[in-house]
Structure 1
Amino acid sequence: MLHRPLSFFLLKNLLTPRICIRQRAVHQRAVHQRASSARTEHLYGASCVLAALQPGGKKLQAGHRKLRKLYVKDRGLGFVVVREDRKAAADGSGTLLARAIELARQREVAVVEVPASRLDALSDGRPNQGMVLAASPMDALQIRHLGHVDTELGDRISYPAVVTKRESFPISFSKRGGTRPFPIWLAIDQVVDPQNLGAVLRSAHFFDIDGVVLTEHETAPFSPTVSKASAGAMEAMELFVTGSLPKFLEESAEHGWHIYGTDIHSDRTILLSSYLRAKNQGAQGIPPLVHSPTILVLGSEGRGLRSPVSKMCHDHLIVGDDAEDSEDANPNSNEYRVDSLNPASAKAVDVFGVL
């Protein structure tokens, strides 16, 4: 039977509130990609440019870009109606280009008209919708592990993201009834394709996942290509990196976090087709999948989860339509295979959409 690994956005109905970090204690000892005032990247396309220009997006200073110039198509300022009525511009009644120009003016970013050929050169020939934003590269915060979550403190709780043995910064989480009593994070294990990483971040943002942790090495850098593939989600999210994902998972688990992997070869699997069938038939005593603070680990495109990462997971969530349980399947059989380990696969959305 065909098995498919779980993509993180299976948890559709559970991923509701977003991370809210009130304090701006920023630690940048080891970042995924270090921003330099001497370097400039060019974000292209309306989704990326508008997300980067939007004020008040990121709550941590790390990850903020220094915005330098907004390039727009020649004569754009003359032909695009830039409404004097700021409310009209803010509610989207103007064009995308007009909105970008308005936001740039609010942020005191210079707006420069250039020929279309210049925009194409800045965006490496990729579709840019008449706008390119020059900005500094993006950082990510380095964290060691997630701390204990005390869910008995009420609907609004705080837990630490630990940087070193002596340093941490608080993360706030708001419960939402019985549908979302615990925070859920996504860990990404060495996704090297920028299109796939962008698709992952786009879905993570759409489903309001509470945090994203990536491996510091052998992962696609936070580039304009990733930002474009994420439809601007990369510009709006707080992103974190870890030097050792197995250690991050191990220490987070020691502080009460449940780790779900997506390794189809593990002997600790939960077959979601069976789980859903039992739940839909009204079987008694079926526990919710998210019963504590949870981290869902997504593997790379080619090999899935690395063995040291897989071993740190408590259970593995497997997608399979009427497939047999993993302990009954033969890993060496031609019937026990994965058609794709692409993390951008949307197959799992159909399954978890009913939860």
Structure 2
Amino acid sequence: MLSNVLRRATVVVIDDVPANLRLLQSSLHTMGLGQVKGFSNSAEGLTWLQQNSWDLLLLDLDMPAPDGFAILEALRDRDRSAQQVILVTALGDAVSRRRGLDLGGNDYLTKPVDLPELLLRVRNCLDLSFAHRLLQQERETLEMRVEERTARLRDSYQAVIRALARAADYKDNETGNHIMRIGETAALLGRAIGAPATWVELLRLAAPMHDVGKIGIPDHILLKPGKLTEDEFDIMKRHARIGHDILADSGRSSLLELAAEIALNHHEKWDGSGYPGGLKGEEIPISARIVALCDVYDALRSSRPYKQGWSAEKAQAYILSQSGKHFDPAGVEIMAGLFDEIEFIRASLSDP
């Protein structure tokens, strides 16, 4: 293992005394090092270090500018575990040692150098450098695998969510694109109110499940073409709690908790006349207030077998007229500034 490390290593020597430089280079070659770069001009050596990959630097401190201390300062942002530095210098006083090590030196040897000791320290530093690189590579590989698996799980999770939402909407003569539009439009409003990006993404995924409770409503009521009787409408209103109950048993899933909150409250109205809880104003969760706006607007604009979709102008006028009644006034104001973008979403996710 160590012989492979030596063959693969790139070691740089910077010493302004040519005789010292040749001695160090020849000694390193005897170790079987694959590549040894030597510089008697410290400025050239620093430029090479900054532009190339290397593993170990043997650095003199007492040199014409830039001296070793200046080189250490210039390399202060390097990974000190992967790119190690042995200070090889005649400056053996305690102040110089402390300064050199504080600026980023990993080891310190004073001249005249005991070559066997130097070679042992070179081996140790290279061994540590390559062990660190190997751990870093393994960590990056592990992180990549975790990210890939997380992405696969997230994709599977989202596919199940979309299937569940589509099941409810197909039962109600809605379309798969309808639920996608609700998600994208809700996310658009979420971003516009300045909500955190993580919450906006949860809203985008949760909003399409707002009507999942319709799975529990009998077809003769859900699909009735005419106006519902009072008793039938009472049954229809149960879909909000059914949806909540389906989604709320979700353990620690923040996504399904948000979806359950939306399913329960998206038919509440700002003036308190909604259902199932008769909540009023800011008692209604912001997520449900956003989805209510998106759902009603999309429903008005959409054609179905039993109705013709409204024009954009008519639907937008209705939304504005319901400010402070059905809808949160602040939400209506924000939506009004986004009508063009909402229509773009509708066009890009139009019904077949």
TM-score range, shorter chain: under 0.3
> Greater relative contact order: 1 or 2 (C-alpha under 8 angstroms, separation 6 or more)?
1
Q: TM-score, normalised by structure 1?
A: 0.21
Report the structure, 1 or 2, having the larger strand content. Answer: 1
Specify the structure having the higher radius of gyration (Cα).
Answer: 2
Report the structure, 1 or 2, having the larger helix content. Answer: 2
Q: TM-score, normalised by structure 2?
A: 0.22
